[in-house]
Amino acid sequence: MRQWENKDKTLRIEILTIQHNFRAKIIWFSDTEGKPMDYRKDTRNPDPKLRS
């Protein structure tokens, strides 16, 4: 498990390897609009069960 941060230091992701496949998860980002992270929703996910 590793973490990566972009140059602007506005996004941090966690990178994992699961069964020889890479996976990434956003663990922190800087929200310039002032909205809480829970406000961000996955409304375009093709699987309706995974939409939040």
Residue 8: domain span: 2-36
State residue 5's pLDDT score: 94
12 belongs to a structural domain:
yes
Q: Which two tokens stand for residue 50?
A: 């995974």
Please count the structural domains in the chain. 1
pLDDT of residue 15: 94
The whole model's pTM is what? 0.55
Task: Report pLDDT digits (tens) over 3-52.
Answer: 999 999 989 999 999 999 999 988 988 877 777 666 667 888 888 887 77
Query: Is 42 inside a domain boundary?
Result: no
Question: Does a structural domain hold residue 48?
Answer: no
Tokens at 11, concatenated: 């996004």
Q: Tell how strand 11-18 and strand 2-5 pair up.
A: antiparallel
pLDDT score, position 22: 93
Residue matched to tokens 């375009």? 44
- Nearest-Å Rg of the Cα atoms of the chain is 13
